[in-house]
Structure formats: structure tokens, C-alpha cells
Amino acid sequence: MYALADCNNFFVSCERVFDPTLNGKPVVVLSNNDGCAISRSNEAKALGIPMGCPAFQIKNYTTENVVMLSARHILYQDLSNRIMRILGEVAINLEVYSVDEAFFKLPFDDDVKNHKLLVTVVKNVQKYVGVPVSIGFAATRTLAKIASHVAKKDPSNVNRVMGLTRQDEIDSILARTKVDDIWGIGRKLNAKLLSCGIHDASQFVRLPKSYLQKIGNINLVRTQQELLGHDCVSINPVTIAHKSIMNSRTFGHVLKKKGDISDAVLSFAQSCAAQLRRERSAALTVTVYVRGDHFRKDLPFYSNSCSVKMQTHTASTIEIAQYALIAFNSIFRDEYFYRKVGVMVTDIIPVNEMQLNIFNAEQEVKHSRLMTAVDDINRRYGSKQIMLAPTLTKGEWAPQQNHFSHQSKTLRFYSGMNPRYAPRVTNVSIDERQNDEDRFDQRNA
DNA sequence: TCTGGGGTCCTAGGACCC
DNA sequence: TCTGGGGTCCTAGGACCC
């Protein structure tokens, strides 16, 4: 039996842990740049605000006051880690699938015992972290996913746990599940299936394999088999080392000056390298991509990318930054305007499988010792104590985030101050928020 | 005015090999 | 006149997920 634990409205629920006055109100958490809604409370969903709704369109859905919050991913990750620890106490083979979801195997052969255990888990997460979670369990991950969805949506299910184990139950749920609610079927495949008159999961499971292979690929066949109770999806949980690491950002506005943009590239390269070292890995290939603003019809659009192979696998900020600049220089064009750039590192291996470069061994050792020292200092005194010089100041590329008036109370609470005595803050820079988050991290460490 | 960021896997097609 | 068959590896692009 597989279980899937899925947090309800995760980012909004995290914000509510720190500001209970948000309970009962329509709340959305916004993406970077305050661009669009990436998490919605039930009240916001009830108003019809869709996922990904641009922030400036939210007012079109209601005259009610919707609380809009800029995202604080460091906080969400911290709460996620606590939840995963609680799940880990009962789980066999916990697969952390995303920041708010995890699959795991259940210890008992008996459905009643498993159900009882999971009810306790839901209660414990609520009690010790304060985030509502729903859990579904079934013979395969895809069915468990559907079960957790049912557990979340069914208001009469106060325990928020749903087992999908009896065949008659599975049949009746599949008949009520639309194809695009199936894990693994997205927009394109949904459109194809609908055009053939396939609307629900019970129709989908009766389709011939050859047809599924034709309109999709082997994964679509696997999805069908999973719904029929055959376990055949494997997960590369994020707890296993990454195959690629990416860092990118949409700028607050379009940029043209090469220096402004290369500062961003360096900053992203720096973050990629730091993450590699945290994961005890090293990468061989660095890719940089640049993109214009596809919403600005008045500007010529340009988009390009370049990958370079480094001499050896490395996790050195200095080397990765140097190669990222080489890649960037080869695709930068003076005549265009830029809205987004990103850095990605791939061909990742664990450090202990690295081959030493015999021509450059001395430099490698030096870099490695330097990076260890940098990481130690940044861990001890805050994440931004030692950085590449061009990334020291907040760059032109920094995203716009203006939805802080509602957060001021939580921010002060968060940094240990009594909100009642805290000054009202209507605009907080990213750096200040980062510092709050760093202090939070340190306290918890 | 205003539209995110970070991942994985699969397939087709080209280059190259014997 | 006539031009095979079977591989591997790499890359770009497209699909999906949260």
C-alpha cells in the first residue's frame, strides 16, 4: 500500500500558522515579482480565482478584499521539513515528492490499522506544525493521489484520510474522476482524450494500450496500468541527488545594460554552486539562457541559450561563475531587451566519484578549501556574508515585490517581536525579509 | 503598468560507427 | 543499372509534475 500525504493550500496554510487572523479570509500567495497566484485559500478558490491568475486580475473576480501575500519560500521549506519528519516516523521509504507532498509505504497489511495510523499522522501534523494535510492510500501511487484528492475535497471526511482499496469503491471513484484530474495527464493529453470522447477515468482505463502509446508515450500506458492497480511508476525523490539544478528569475522590468544582466547571471551561478556543495555534488556543464519579455509587443523579442562544458566536474563558485559568463557573453546581443535569465548546471555526480584533473590539481584543492571556508562562514553568520563582488548589492534585476502591508505583522512576529508594539511597515525590501528569514533559520538551527 | 520558478522523463532525428 | 542493416550517442523539443 502506498500513501500520499498532501498539504492543503500549502503556502497559504504556512502564512496562517504565523498569522491566525488570516483564517477564514480569502488569501492568495503570489509568485516572485508579485506576478500571479500560486496558492489560494479555500475562500479564494470559492471566489473563482484560478491558479496562476495574474495579480492585477484578481480584483475582476470579486469586490471582496482578497489578502495578497508575497511568497516566503524559506519559511515554507522549513515547515515542510518538520512535516516530513513527522511523516518519517511512521513511513516506510518516504519519497519527498515536492515541498508539500510525500509518498510512502504503509506498515500494515490491514486497511483498518493503516487508516487509524494515518488519522493520527494528520492530527500530529496539525498539532505540531499547524498545517492541514490530507492523506490517501491505495495499491499504487496514482490511485493514492486520487484518494488524497477525494479526502481533501469531501467536507464530510473530517479525518482527511481516504483509503481506496475495495474494487467497487475504486470503480465508483474512477467514474467520478475527470481525465485531467489524473496524475500524469496534463492540458495537451486532456484535449486529445476529450476530442475522442474520453471524459472520465473509467473510460480511460478501458482504452487499448496501443492507442495510448500512439497519442502519448510509455508514461501514459503506465498511468493506465497504475489506475488498474499495477504498480509501475517510479519516483526519483528529491531526497536523492538532483540531475540538474537551476536558478533563474524574471526581472522587475526589462533590462538592456549588459552589466546589469551579467550581475544576475553571476548571482544565479553562485546559488547553483552553493546548492551543489550542499548536496555534496559537482557539475560538468553550465547552461545560461536569456529571454525578452513576451508580453511587450512593442519590443523585438529574443531568446537564446548556451551550454558550456567545464574542464572537470566542479562545485566551485568561482569556476562555475566564470563559465557562466563565457556562455552569457556568447548569446548576449546589444540590440535586445531582457526580462529573464537563468543558470542551470547539469551532468551532476557525487563529489566522491570525481576524478582529479591532473593538470589542475593544485587549483582544485585551493578552490575546494576556499569554498569550504566560505560555506562555513555563511552558515554561521548568515547566508550573504561572503559573495562574489558584483552580487553584493541589490541589483537592477531584483524582482518587484510590493505586497507587504499585510505581512508586516507576521514579519515582526516572525522575528520575535510583539506585533502590538511593532511599527507599521508598508514596504519591506527583499534583503530585510531575507534577514528575518535568516534569523528564523538560525533560531531553529 | 501588471503574467513564477524548478524539476523529470521520453522521443525523434541527426551524426557517426562497423 | 544497381547503394543494407544494425547499432550508439547526443541534442532539441515537448510533455508532464509541483
A439 CA to B12 C1' distance (Å): 51
Identify the pLDDT of residue A440.
40
Q: Is A390 helix (H, G, I), strand (E, B) or coil?
A: helix
Identify the pLDDT of residue A237.
52
- pTM value is 0.85
Identify the pLDDT of residue A405.
41
Identify the pLDDT of residue A411.
39
Query: Whose C1' is closest to the CA of A97: which nucleotide?
Result: C18
A111 CA to C1 C1' distance (Å): 75
Contact A336, A292 (CB under 8 A): yes
- How big is chain A, counted in residues? 445
Query: Whose C1' is closest to the CA of A183: which nucleotide?
Result: C17
Q: Across the 445 residues of chain A, what is the mean pLDDT of every consecutive 10-residue run?
A: 97 95 96 92 95 92 93 92 95 92 95 98 97 97 97 94 97 96 94 94 95 90 95 69 89 90 92 92 92 86 88 92 92 91 92 74 85 90 81 74 51 32 30 41 40
Identify the pLDDT of residue A107.
95
Residue A340 Cβ under 7 A from any strand B atom: yes
Q: Is A82 helix (H, G, I), strand (E, B) or coil?
A: helix
Sheet holding A27-30, edge to edge: A37-40, A27-30, A67-70
Considering only CA atoms, which residue is closest to the C1' of nucleotide C17? A184
DSSP A282: E
> A235, A237, A259, A265: which is closest to A343 by C-alpha?
A265
A190 CA to B9 C1' distance (Å): 19
Query: Whose C1' is closest to the CA of A192: which nucleotide?
Result: C15
> A275, A278, A281: which is closest to A352 by C-alpha?
A281
Identify the pLDDT of residue A398.
76
Query: Whose C1' is closest to the CA of A191: which nucleotide?
Result: C15
Identify the pLDDT of residue A424.
29
A362 CA to B3 C1' distance (Å): 48
Residue A250 Cβ under 7 A from any strand B atom: yes
Considering only CA atoms, which residue is closest to the C1' of nucleotide B4? A31
DSSP A94: E
Contact A96, A56 (CB under 8 A): no
> A36, A28, A66, A72: which is closest to A52 by C-alpha?
A36
A288 CA to C11 C1' distance (Å): 16
Contact A396, A263 (CB under 8 A): yes
Residue A187 Cβ under 7 A from any strand C atom: yes
- Please report the domains of chain A, with CATH numbers, ordered by start residue: 1-163 (3.30.70.270), 166-240 (1.10.150.20), 245-391 (3.30.1490.100), 409-439 (no CATH)
A291 CA to C3 C1' distance (Å): 47
Contact A15, A69 (CB under 8 A): yes
Query: Whose C1' is closest to the CA of A38: which nucleotide?
Result: B4
Identify the pLDDT of residue A395.
74
